[in-house]
């Protein structure tokens, strides 16, 4: 039996036209091609987009024997784990911290879960560090202080922000960058300390 003819299915005759069948196939192929091209364009559009998350170190032990470099409180340790959990499904290629116990310990759970080393930066040279972050174009976590976190976020997007209150620990600054443009989102975590 020829393709352009009658096809029998369980003793019922179904007539079809080869030209109609080929027309539908062509339309389906065009549709698939349009979808693939659209996705390729979207992927190309997304290239060069990277996100930097900036957080202040978690709660520190105020009555520490080392007042200039205190460790985290139990609550601070829990908050650090909460930050790591928040970033669990977020791409992170680099983690930065100032050279303090409290900032490194805040970054540690995320570094461990992502299999990354913590890289140090100098909180006194934020302008240079912001340029380095823009040059590297990596999804990153940066752990800083109440007097550096918002300032660095501002430098990354070309705006001026000052330090924030010493009692604020619940902010995550999400800076999305593409080429020379940046957008800042300030997120507030729902974490609340249960150990203090």
Q: Please work out, in degrees rounded to the nearest 5, the angle formed at the alpha carbon of residue 146 by the alpha carbons of 98 and 68.
A: 60
**Do strands 49-56 and 118-120 pair parallel, antiparallel, or not at all (unpaired)?**
unpaired
Do 35 and 106 belong together in one domain?
A: no
Please check whether residue 173 lies inside any domain of the structure.
yes
26-58 pLDDT, tens digit per residue, is 566 555 656 665 554 454 345 689 999 999 999
Do 111 and 35 belong together in one domain?
A: no
Domain with 26 in it: 6-45
Give the whole-angstrom CA distance, residue 155 versus residue 74. Answer: 32
The H or E element spanning position 64 is none
9: pLDDT confidence band, cut at 50, 70 and 90?
A: very low
Count of the separate structural domains present in the chain: 2
Question: What's the mean pLDDT when you consider all of the chain?
Answer: 84
14: pLDDT confidence band, cut at 50, 70 and 90?
A: very low
Do 130 and 144 belong together in one domain?
A: yes
Do 28 and 16 belong together in one domain?
A: yes
pLDDT value of residue 45: 43
């Amino acid at each position: 039996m020829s393709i352009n003819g009658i096809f029998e299915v369980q003793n019922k005759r179904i007539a079809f036209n080869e030209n109609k069948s080929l027309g539908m196939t062509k339309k389906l192929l065009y549709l698939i091609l349009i979808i693939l091209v659209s996705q390729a364009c979207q992927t190309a559009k997304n290239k060069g987009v990277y996100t930097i998350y900036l957080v202040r170190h978690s709660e520190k032990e105020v009555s520490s024997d080392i007042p200039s470099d205190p460790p985290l409180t139990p609550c601070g340790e829990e908050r650090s784990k909460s930050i790591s959990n928040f970033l669990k499904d977020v791409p992170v290629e680099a983690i930065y911290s100032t050279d303090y116990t409290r900032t490194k310990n805040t970054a540690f759970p995320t570094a461990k879960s992502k299999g990354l080393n913590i890289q140090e930066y100098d909180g006194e040279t934020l302008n240079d560090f912001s340029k380095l972050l823009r040059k590297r174009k990596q999804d990153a976590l940066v752990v800083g202080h109440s007097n550096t976190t918002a300032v660095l976020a501002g430098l990354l997007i070309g705006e001026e922000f000052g330090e924030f209150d010493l009692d604020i620990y619940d902010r995550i600054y999400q800076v999305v960058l593409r080429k020379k443009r940046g957008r800042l989102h300030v997120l507030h975590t729902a974490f609340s300390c249960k150990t203090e």
